[in-house]
């Protein structure tokens, strides 16, 4: 039968991975030319000695660049890698009690090392993904995603492509590395002691041996370009505090600003020198402007009208 076909398998019997283990040697017996090898970040961390004794809460603080949202015991943070996940990827499961597994320091570099090691050991050109587990906005449950990638474009670009009717495609960049990490999670399971998965049948997507591609970093959206760079409460707190304006992104269009003002019952119109609001400048108007990358123009504002101008 014609079509596209891949095979995904996770070998048993790999067992515990002590610090100093060469994961390329572990993977080598299972791969052939053109495979994609998915290794859990847990195992990469163990092999790289990123297991520490210590206090989980303190480790989370140490690994956190920025708190994105927090409710009670749950904190969603930006890690040093730029990846947003719960508890900064600090994990106390599948490790001896009292110990913690931290994320690999540079998972793209880890993926490159494993890829090069497999090539050296076997002569086979493969791609390597270092995977981890994360929750999502809007949806229950967790999926595995790519924390490190070598030898594969993490985002497959269809920008400019058209369908068979000549329409431009709405989806321009499937995150294939995340999708491959996901199927590895399904096949390995969380309890099976299978730290390694091989995806066979995607040789056409594996880059030449000398090209590692841009790495999983291209999957990370910078906070300032993200509409969800803060939780709902944290966005209001940041606006009230007057902090972190860059997290709200580039200045809003006039249309978007007018829409927000109208939602607050404020009558407003666009003028050549800015947006004029039929209200005196007050705290609420300042907050709205702040969150939209605009500000009150003090000289052109009075008791009955306020002019907002874009933050430069």
| Span 7-26, contacts to its own copies by CB under 8 A | 7-13
Number of residues that bind its own copies (CB under 8 A): 113
Nearest distance, CB of residue 202 and its own copies, angstroms: 7
Decide if residue 202 touches its own copies (CB under 8 A): yes
- In the structure encoding, which two tokens stand for residue 281, read together? 């400048």
Nearest distance, CB of residue 3 and its own copies, angstroms: 4
**Spatial separation of the C-alpha atoms in residues 25 and 13, rounded to whole Å:** 14
Decide if residue 183 touches its own copies (CB under 8 A): yes
Binding test (CB under 8 A) with its own copies, winner from 49, 54, 189, 302: 189
Residue numbers 116-135 binding its own copies by CB under 8 A? 133
**Dihedral over alpha carbons 47, 193, 198, 159 (to 10 degrees):** -80
Decide if residue 2 touches its own copies (CB under 8 A): yes
Residue with Cβ nearer its own copies (220 or 311): 220
Dihedral sign, CA of 177, 230, 101, 45?
positive
Q: Candidates 112-120, 267-275, 280-288, 303-311: pick the segment binding its own copies (CB under 8 A).
A: 280-288
Decide if residue 283 touches its own copies (CB under 8 A): yes
**Spatial separation of the C-alpha atoms in residues 189 and 55, rounded to whole Å:** 27
Decide if residue 109 touches its own copies (CB under 8 A): no
Binding test (CB under 8 A) with its own copies, winner from 20, 141, 208, 272: 141
**Spatial separation of the C-alpha atoms in residues 139 and 116, rounded to whole Å:** 37
Dihedral sign, CA of 142, 148, 152, 158?
positive
Binding test (CB under 8 A) with its own copies, winner from 72, 123, 160, 208: 72
Binding test (CB under 8 A) with its own copies, winner from 35, 48, 108, 144: 144
Decide if residue 84 touches its own copies (CB under 8 A): yes
β-strands 99-101, 274-277: how paired?
A: unpaired
Nearest distance, CB of residue 70 and its own copies, angstroms: 7
Question: Among 175, 169, 131, which residue's Cα sits nearest to residue 153?
Answer: 175
Do residues 291 and 248 make contact, with C-beta atoms less than 8 angstroms apart? yes
Please list the residues that pair with 99 across neighbouring strands. Answer: 53
Decide if residue 140 touches its own copies (CB under 8 A): yes
**Spatial separation of the C-alpha atoms in residues 191 and 117, rounded to whole Å:** 27
Residue numbers 219-278 binding its own copies by CB under 8 A? 219-221, 226-233, 235-241, 243, 247-249, 252-253, 255-256, 259-260, 263-265
- Other Cβ atoms less than 10 A from the Cβ of 146: the count is 29
């Amino acid at each position: 039968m014609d079509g596209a076909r891949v095979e995904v398998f996770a070998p048993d019997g790999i067992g515990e991975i002590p610090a100093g283990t060469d994961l390329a040697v572990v993977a080598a017996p299972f791969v052939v030319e053109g495979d994609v090898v998915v290794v859990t970040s847990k195992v990469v961390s163990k092999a790289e000695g990123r297991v520490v004794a210590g206090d989980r809460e303190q480790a989370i603080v140490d690994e956190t660049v920025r708190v994105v949202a927090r409710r009670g015991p749950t904190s969603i943070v930006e890690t040093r890698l730029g990846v947003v996940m719960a508890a900064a990827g600090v994990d106390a499961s599948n490790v001896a009690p009292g110990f913690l597994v931290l994320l690999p320091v540079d998972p793209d570099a880890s993926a490159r090392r494993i890829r090069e090691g497999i090539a050296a050991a076997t002569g086979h050109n493969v791609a390597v993904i270092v995977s981890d587990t994360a929750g999502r906005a809007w949806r229950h449950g967790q999926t595995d995603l790519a924390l490190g990638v070598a030898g594969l474009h993490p985002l497959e670009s269809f920008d400019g492509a058209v369908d068979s009717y000549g329409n431009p495609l709405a989806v321009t960049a499937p995150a294939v590395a995340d999708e491959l990490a996901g199927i590895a999670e399904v096949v390995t399971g969380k309890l099976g002691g299978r730290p390694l998965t091989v995806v066979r049948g995607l040789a056409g997507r594996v880059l030449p041996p000398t090209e590692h591609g841009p790495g999983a970093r291209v999957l990370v959206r910078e906070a300032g370009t993200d509409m969800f760079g803060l939780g709902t409460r944290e966005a209001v707190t940041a606006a009230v505090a007057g902090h972190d304006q860059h997290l709200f992104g580039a200045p809003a269009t006039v249309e978007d600003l007018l829409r927000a003002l109208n939602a607050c019952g404020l009558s407003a119109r666009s003028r050549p020198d800015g947006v004029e609001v039929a209200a005196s400048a007050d705290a609420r108007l300042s907050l709205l402007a702040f969150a939209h990358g605009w500000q009150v123009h003090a000289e052109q504002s009075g008791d009955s009208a306020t002019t907002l101008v874009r933050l430069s």
